Amino acid sequence: MSENKIASHTRHQIIGDDIQTVVMTLQPQETIIAEAGTMNWMDQHITFETKMGDGSTPNESLSTKLLNVGKRFLTGESLFMTHFSNNGEADQKVAFAAPFPGKIIQIDLSTYGGHIQCQKDAFLCAEIGTKVDIAFQKKLGTGLFGGEGFILQKLTGDKIAYLHACGTIIKRELKGETIKVDTGCLVGFTEGINYNIEKAGNLKSMVFGGEGIFLATLQGTGTVWLQSLPFSRLAKQVYKFAPQTGGRRQGEGSVLGGLGDLLGGK
């Protein structure tokens, strides 16, 4: 098999509204990378291989690959990336879907200085040549209290990348401004944006305000992507109303749930 070409002419189509899929068309011998477990369907001549690393630096040493795998392990990410290639003689398609309801965002890294940072679970897939790395926040406050915003992914290159987020996507262009954001609502941001964590008001507001103890502060000039519904918030609500261990329910509906069990003979 000949060496895979960089998918510089990859075509795409984002299908759907709130539960989207991105369909990528690969020319012969083109390759793209994706997070493990995100593939939805693929044409006959698409093949895939799980590898250590994103393929952006094919000649990197084994120690460097192991270091990158170790960073992904520490952050709870999959240890490997999946490489999808078109080994046929005509265009072939492969589709990827996010693991939860939301939107898929296309980002041309070349238009944003070749570098963005995003939430560690936001990356979906990208053209090969995109470097996917982990960015730990260096400031103590961010590290101790950042929660979902403590560990970020760093995407570098001049290719097309796709992120996925939950809820409605808001794109903000900051021009020397400052915004404060729930850490879970942050999807990503470009160079020129300074990211930090600070307290959410006074002690009473922190304890009883319901907005969390700390907020992310984004300041500078650049682009910020936000999501209206962090998946952690959605999961918390689902868990709140879901049956608990031993058949007990919590929250609203528990009485009706118990009545249903009684009528059902439980």
pLDDT at 254 over 90: no
Average pLDDT, the chain: 79
Q: What is the Cα–Cα distance from 142 to 149, expressed in whole angstroms?
A: 8
* Residue 179 pLDDT: 95
pLDDT at 255 over 50: no
Q: What is the Cα–Cα distance from 222 to 176, expressed in whole angstroms?
A: 8
CATH number of 5-237: 3.60.160.10
pTM given for the model: 0.77
Mean pLDDT over 170-187 rounds to 93
Mean pLDDT over 191-220 rounds to 72
19 to each of 96, 187, 188, 218, 257, how far by Cα in Å?
A: 11, 17, 20, 28, 29
Mean pLDDT over 133-160 rounds to 70
Between these two residues, 234 and 126, which has the higher pLDDT value? 126
Tell whether the torsion through CA atoms of 112, 117, 123 and 129 is positive or negative.
positive
pLDDT in tens, 77-95: 666 789 999 999 999 999 9
Q: Tell me whether residue 88 is exposed, middle or buried, using C-beta atoms within 10 angstroms of its C-beta: 0 to 12, 13 to 18, 19 or more.
A: middle
pLDDT at 252 over 70: no
* Residue 73 pLDDT: 64
Provide the pairing of β-strand 169-181 with 131-136.
Answer: unpaired
pLDDT at 59 over 80: no
Residues with Cβ within 8 Å of residue 210, at least 6 apart in sequence: none
Domain boundaries in the chain? 5-237
